[in-house]
Chains A and B, each alone.
Chain A
Amino acid sequence: MMSCDTFRSRFRAGNDEPAVLEHIRTCDRCLDYAAAVDPDVMFRALGGEELIPAGGVDAFVGEVMQQVRVRSAETRVGVAPVVSWPRRLAIAATLVAGVTGAMLFNRWDAPSRPGVRTPSAMHAQARRSAILATKPIIETYESEKATFVDVPSEEAGDDVKIVMIFDENLPADL
């Protein structure tokens, strides 16, 4: 990089040497000096010549437009709907049909709907009927002070049932 003295010795109005213009980009004092000599030097120092891309402006514009088209195409691909409307309708119809079928099947199978009994519902009713209601063995007893004790059976489904009556009013010589 040239010194300030060299710059000032070489700088003239209309000078557009790259090395000279490079110096005033980094040295404010020399920039003031150069601006006083040639005000246009500031615009030249911006590097206007370097803004022209390699291959010319037309080639640059062509490349930019190509990039714009590529990006535009990428955006279209990314934003485009995955499923088209007819397919969406088909999916919705299938879902509705599936849900409807499942609900109808459940209603058909459930015994809660009165009046309409399926074989499975009737089976369930039969099973319930098979479970007999239970009644107390001792329904009434003459003494109110008596105590009844159901002796638990050791075996499930035992066909012998024991009920003890403890009653102070019973004869002593039973």
Chain B
Amino acid sequence: MKRFATYLMVVLFVSASAFADAADVGRSLKVQTFQLKHKQADVAAGVIKPLMSADGSMSIQPAANSLVVTDLAENVKKIAAALAQFDAPPQPLQLSIRLVAASRGDAGRIDSALSDVAPKLALLRYNVLESAGSAQVTGREGEAGLVDLTGYRADFRFGEYDPASDSVKLSDFKLLKLDGDQLTPVLKTTLNLRLGQTVIIGATRQPGSQRALMIVVTARR
């Protein structure tokens, strides 16, 4: 009986030690400051937010363009790695823009260059698709871009690449229509483009309009 009692005590001691150890491991917090060279600290804050634990916190110092992160030591390591990857020099980007004049007619007519998007636009019952110009633009994050299309002009700014959504922002995208020597603004917007995804922005006055201007854009590295 004494032997079994001893065994019981040993088991209880070991389990109590294990739980006590489990409660303490990894609880120590670490504070580290990260100064960003190429990217904005507030944007970087959004990148590391998903990596932080419930015990973590961070503050942005705009003047120094830095982040002060307090978190578990292991998390701080991961955050450091993520920031090192994120705070890279501006990346080259490539943008493909196509303008399509879409309309609904009795007889369908599709420009051969638009065969890839025609099935998608057929969902909207646009069966007449005419190319209104296309262009390829290359640039870097933060740089401005200008595209001259047939009868239209587009200018914009490449925004920062967001690894969390694998997308790049196209800021202040302005589409202007050339009327002789005059440029008439058509629309102004800011777009988030996932890399490799073709986005079709259809612009028309009303849902029942028979005509629409389709802006087909694809961003790539």
Determine if A142 is an interface residue (Cβ-Cβ < 8 Å): yes
What are the residues of chain A within 8 A of B26 when measuring CB–CB? 113-116
What are the residues of chain A within 8 A of B25 when measuring CB–CB? 113, 115-116
Q: Which residue of A lies closest to B196 (CB)?
A: A159
Counting from the closest, the 10 A-B pairs by CB-CB distance are: A115-B26, A89-B4, A100-B15, A135-B192, A142-B188, A174-B213, A164-B202, A140-B190, A139-B190, A93-B8
User: Looking at A132, A134, A139, A162, which has the most chain B CB atoms within 10 Å of its CB?
Assistant: A162
- Which positions in A face B, CB cutoff 8 Å? 85-86, 89-90, 92-93, 96-97, 100, 103-104, 107, 113-117, 129, 132-143, 149, 151, 154, 159-168, 170-172, 174
User: In whole angstroms, what is the CA distance A107 to B26 when docked?
Assistant: 14
Contact assessment for B192 and A139 in the assembled complex, using a CB-CB cutoff below 8 Å = yes
What are the residues of chain B within 8 A of A136 when measuring CB–CB? 192
Q: Which residue of A lies closest to B169 (CB)?
A: A139
Tally A-B pairs: CB < 8 A.
Answer: 156
Contact assessment for A138 and B201 in the assembled complex, using a CB-CB cutoff below 8 Å = yes
What are 7 A-to-B residue pairs whose CB atoms are below 8 Å?
Answer: A103-B15, A135-B162, A139-B191, A162-B120, A164-B202, A165-B187, A167-B203
- Give chain A nearest CB distance to B87 CB in angstroms: 18
Contact assessment for A93 and B187 in the assembled complex, using a CB-CB cutoff below 8 Å = no
What are the residues of chain B within 8 A of A149 when measuring CB–CB? 207
Contact assessment for B191 and A138 in the assembled complex, using a CB-CB cutoff below 8 Å = yes
What are the residues of chain B within 8 A of A117 when measuring CB–CB? 74
Q: Which residue of A lies closest to B24 (CB)?
A: A115
Determine if B58 is an interface residue (Cβ-Cβ < 8 Å): no
Q: Which residue of B lies closest to A164 (CB)?
A: B202
Contact assessment for A137 and B213 in the assembled complex, using a CB-CB cutoff below 8 Å = no
Contact assessment for A166 and B205 in the assembled complex, using a CB-CB cutoff below 8 Å = yes
What are the residues of chain A within 8 A of B75 when measuring CB–CB? 114-115
What are the residues of chain B within 8 A of A171 when measuring CB–CB? 177, 184, 186
Q: Kindly state the interface size class of chain B when it binds its partner.
A: 35 or more
User: In whole angstroms, what is the CA distance A159 to B216 when docked?
Assistant: 12
Contact assessment for B11 and A93 in the assembled complex, using a CB-CB cutoff below 8 Å = yes
What are the residues of chain A within 8 A of B15 when measuring CB–CB? 96, 100, 103-104
Contact assessment for A86 and B1 in the assembled complex, using a CB-CB cutoff below 8 Å = yes
Determine if B198 is an interface residue (Cβ-Cβ < 8 Å): yes
What are the residues of chain A within 8 A of B4 when measuring CB–CB? 86, 89-90, 93
Contact assessment for A174 and B186 in the assembled complex, using a CB-CB cutoff below 8 Å = yes
Determine if B165 is an interface residue (Cβ-Cβ < 8 Å): yes
Contact assessment for A174 and B204 in the assembled complex, using a CB-CB cutoff below 8 Å = yes
Contact assessment for B187 and A135 in the assembled complex, using a CB-CB cutoff below 8 Å = no
What are the residues of chain A within 8 A of B72 when measuring CB–CB? 114-115
- Give chain A nearest CB distance to B99 CB in angstroms: 10
- Give chain B nearest CB distance to A45 CB in angstroms: 65
- Give chain B nearest CB distance to A61 CB in angstroms: 43
- Give chain B nearest CB distance to A141 CB in angstroms: 5
Contact assessment for A114 and B200 in the assembled complex, using a CB-CB cutoff below 8 Å = no
What are the residues of chain B within 8 A of A100 when measuring CB–CB? 11, 14-15, 18
User: Looking at A86, A100, A137, A168, which has the most chain B CB atoms within 10 Å of its CB?
Assistant: A137
User: In whole angstroms, what is the CA distance A165 to B18 when docked?
Assistant: 60
What are the residues of chain A within 8 A of B189 when measuring CB–CB? 138-142, 165
Determine if B164 is an interface residue (Cβ-Cβ < 8 Å): yes
Q: Which residue of A lies closest to B167 (CB)?
A: A135
User: In whole angstroms, what is the CA distance A154 to B200 when docked?
Assistant: 15
- Give chain A nearest CB distance to B2 CB in angstroms: 9
Determine if B211 is an interface residue (Cβ-Cβ < 8 Å): yes
Q: Which one of A151, A161, A168 lies within 8 Å of B124 (CB-CB)?
A: A151
